[in-house]
Amino acid sequence: MGYRRYRPGSVQRELRRRKRSKGYKLAWAALLLVVAMALFVLYSPYFAVETIEVQGIQMLSQKELLEEAGLFPGMNLLQVRPSLISSRLLSNPWVEEVTVQRGLPGYVLVLVQEREPVVLVPNGSSFLCLDREARVLDTWTVAKVSLPFLTGFRVPARTFPGQVLEDTTLRLVLAALASLSKSTLGMISEVHLDNESSITVYTLNGVPVYLGQAFDSLPEKFQVLDSILKDIRDKDTEVEYVDLHLPHRPVVKERR
């Protein structure tokens, strides 16, 4: 009877070879499993976006917003990256804050907080829509919302949506206007700045309100204006003019 002779160390080498071969097979099996799972997640209808809900928009259209966000029905839910979508939407001047949430099955919620427009500034044949920080929200050829007009302000030669106009007087006036209640703001048709930076407010009924040049007391003057205009509206008083040069001693001249 013959015996098989092994060279020294050959048994150990064979065992190592078989172990490596088994390891390779397990690695390939694991890789194939990962690929199969990835393909399932990417192409399974369960992960397809079916519902996109947008809340908080008034000036923006949902179609416009979703195009900017890169969201559309049928895309894979894992392709919806909230941080990336938020950064895209925050580049829109109207968008102040945004939150994007995902949920199963196939649900995306976009919560938007828009900036509030305060005035319209005539600029040639168009209007600049500004918020309280003097940010240009949009440029319109036709006024799309009912807001006071700001006249007498020299618009820079080049303006574009998203630009913040650097003018101290303008910012003071806009901040004061934004402090008014919406009902009072709706009673104002125009805010005029003359060459001496004196401010005159005109109501929808054409009543002039003289505020003067004291910009340091502008918030106080607008608080008094808010109260006076509410009183005029509630009592249906016919007024010739209002003088707020001295806010602690306002003059309301009634028509006779």
What pLDDT digit, counting tens, does each position of 6-62 carry?
555 554 555 555 555 556 666 666 666 666 555 555 556 667 899 999 999 999 999
Asked whether the predicted pLDDT for residue 189 surpasses 70, the reply is yes
Domains 45-114 and 117-254 share a fold: no
User: What is the topology classification, in CATH, of domain 45-114?
Assistant: Ubiquitin-like (UB roll) (3.10.20)
> Is residue 144 predicted with pLDDT exceeding 70?
yes
**Nearby residues of 151 by Cβ (< 8 Å), 6 or more positions away:** 122, 190, 191, 192, 193
Pairing of strands 117-123, 95-103: unpaired
Q: List pLDDT tens digits, range 71-122.
A: 999 898 888 999 999 999 999 999 999 999 998 888 999 999 999 999 999 9
Domain borders along the chain are: 45-114, 117-254
For residue 188, what pLDDT is reported? 95
* Cβ-contact 211, 251 below 8 angstroms: no
The HSE-up count of residue 254 (CA atoms within 13 Å, CB side) is 8
Model pLDDT, residue 231: 92
**What's the topology of domain 117-254?**
Rossmann fold (3.40.50)
User: What is residue 221's predicted lDDT score, i.e. its pLDDT?
Assistant: 93
The helix (H) or strand (E) run that includes residue 34 is: helix 10-43
SS3 of residue 152 by DSSP = coil
| pLDDT for position 27 | 64
